[in-house]
Amino acid sequence: MLGVLISDPRPLRLRDVGEHPRSFGFPEGHPPMRSFLGVPVIVRGQAWGNLYLGDKTDGTEFTEADQEAAVILADWAGLAIDNARLYEYSEHRRQQLERAVRGLEATRDIVVAIGSAAGPERVLELIAKRGRALIDARAILIMLRSGTDLVVAASAGYAADVNGHRLPIANSMSGHVLERKRPERIADVKARLRIAPAELGVPDAHTALLAPMVHRGVGTGVLAAFDRGEDGAPFTAADEQLMQTFAASAANAVAIARSVEADRLRSSMAAADAERRHWARELHDDTLQIFGGLRVLLSGVLRRADTTRYEQAIREAVEVTEQGIEGLRAIIVDLRPAALDEIGLKPAIEALLERRSDSSLVIEPQLDLPDQRLGERALDPELETTVYRLVQEALTNVVKHAHASVVRVAVTADAKRVTIDVQDNGTGFDVEHRSEGFGLAGMRERAYLTGGTLEIDSSKHGTRLRVTLPARYASPSTERSSGEQAAS
């Protein structure tokens, strides 16, 4: 009888339900019923179900008015069901959109971290934290491929510190996920993980979700999440899909971070080699030549055995030796001036500008820096060294290559930043094609490692170099330490 209301969705009233040809009795446990009133429940034009009543309490038959009332109730039921379905669908879509937004935010944060020169460790830490929040996991591990093993590189949540722990790719569920490049949901960690959860720092884990990190078709690692939510519920298919997408982004991020780190190391090594070559040339062209000439002078006097020339030779040797000492002293000052450690950055730069200034080059200084001689708080010692060497290298370029007559050197510091601005009226150069030949690789590396930026603008009317560095000031203990060293 109930099927009739679906196949022929119209109201049906019966005095005796047993007399209808489609009646086949009642299911087990159904109460006795003789009179019958049934109406279909319509949802968006389709019969979704039915509403039926049996045996009025006063023993009379169902009337037309009863039927109208039942139809109205069925219509309200249809509306309620339709609204519930729409709400369920909209709620599902809302959750999907929220997950998508969280995924985009997590990816954005990782990209920003890479762009801000964060190292691989910081990127891995960020991936772990964002991945855990993304699927509401209690703990998450990042395991990266290293030869035939997976190595725990980062973790977040309640997982113990197991960074550096290794597990074999062969005969492990994590390795299986890595080799197949397909995610895996695990409802019973102890039975299926093939490794004791305590070895991964999650001894109380019950469920897990493993997702491969794949970059350019190669499995580079595995994201392992444990226990969803506060009650440690199993992960869902939606969690799996979201985690798989995030793992792909994480793999790309790790690859980029590693590439950036490798480029930075190569650049640093190249800058160090260039600086060593520079000082080797300085020693060879000046000091070594002086002492080589001294050797020839003394050897000539000894070969002639002319005692009358000994005194003259000694005087010449003393003069040449003094020249060599002055040359070495100049190189030592350029390498690390004592004033930088003893009385601070400002006097050290003032002395540098004075040494480089001569009749052919006028230097116009503008120094707004902390002055330790006045008791002002000094910049961080490492930052002071960076600022000094950047000014030094910029002036070296002007003296050797710019053919300038005037150079303006401005160095300022405030609470947030230190700015170096060196501008000359020289001939200029092609920044794009010749910059690395002028020691700029080392300058870029110094600025980069300090978290700053370096900009160069050059034309036939001159060159302007501008460096901006984040300001860091020395702590009182550091200043006392520097002062004590200077006093001693």
Domain extents for the chain? 2-89, 117-263, 273-330, 341-487
- As a whole number of angstroms, the distance between CA 323 and CA 318 comes to 9
Average pLDDT, the chain: 80
CATH of 117-263 among 3.30.450.40, 3.10.20.440, 3.40.50.720, 3.20.20.10: 3.30.450.40
Q: Give the pLDDT of residue 464.
A: 93
User: What pLDDT shows up at residue 260?
Assistant: 64
Give the whole-number percent of the chain exceeding pLDDT 90: 16
Answer yes or no: is pLDDT of 486 > 50: no
Do the domains 341-487 and 2-89 match in fold?
A: no
Which of 29-33, 350-354, 399-403 bottoms out in mean pLDDT, i.e. has the lowest? 29-33
- Of residues 108 and 358, more confidence is placed in 358
**pLDDT confidence band for 409 (50 / 70 / 90):** very high
| Confidence at residue 488, expressed as pLDDT on a 0 to 100 scale | 38
Per-residue model confidence (pLDDT) at position 435: 47
Please give the pLDDT value at position 373: 80
How far apart are the C-alpha atoms of 156 and 18, rounded to whole Å? 67
Letter for the amino acid at 87? Y
Share of the chain above pLDDT 70, in %: 80
Task: Label residue 199 exposed, middle or buried (CB < 10 Å: 0-12, 13-18, 19+).
Answer: middle
The confidence score (pLDDT) of residue 476 equals: 65
What is the per-residue pLDDT for 69? 93
Which segment, 88-102, 194-208, 211-225, 438-452, is predicted with the most confidence on average? 211-225
Taking residue 212's Cβ as centre, other Cβ atoms within 10 Å add up to: 23
The answer on pLDDT for 107 being more than 70 is: no
Considering the four listed CATH numbers 3.60.15.10, 3.30.450.40, 3.20.20.140, 3.40.50.2300, the one that applies to the domain covering 2-89 is: 3.30.450.40
CB 367 within 8 A of CB 350: yes
pLDDT tens digits, 120-177: 677 777 788 888 887 888 888 888 888 888 888 888 887 767 888 888 888 888 888 9
CB under 8 Å to 475, separation ≥6 — which residues? none
Q: In the prediction, which pLDDT does 291 show?
A: 74
Highest mean pLDDT among 241-250, 378-387, 460-469: 460-469
Query: Would you identify the CATH topology of the domain 341-487?
Result: Heat Shock Protein 90 (3.30.565)
Q: How far from 248 is each of 14, 123, 137, CA to CA, in Å? A: 64, 14, 18
User: Model-level pTM?
Assistant: 0.43
Tell me the per-residue pLDDT of 298-307, one tens digit each, with 9 for 90 and over.
Answer: 777 677 666 6
Mean pLDDT, range 388-401, rounded to an integer: 88
Residues 273-293 have a mean pLDDT of 66
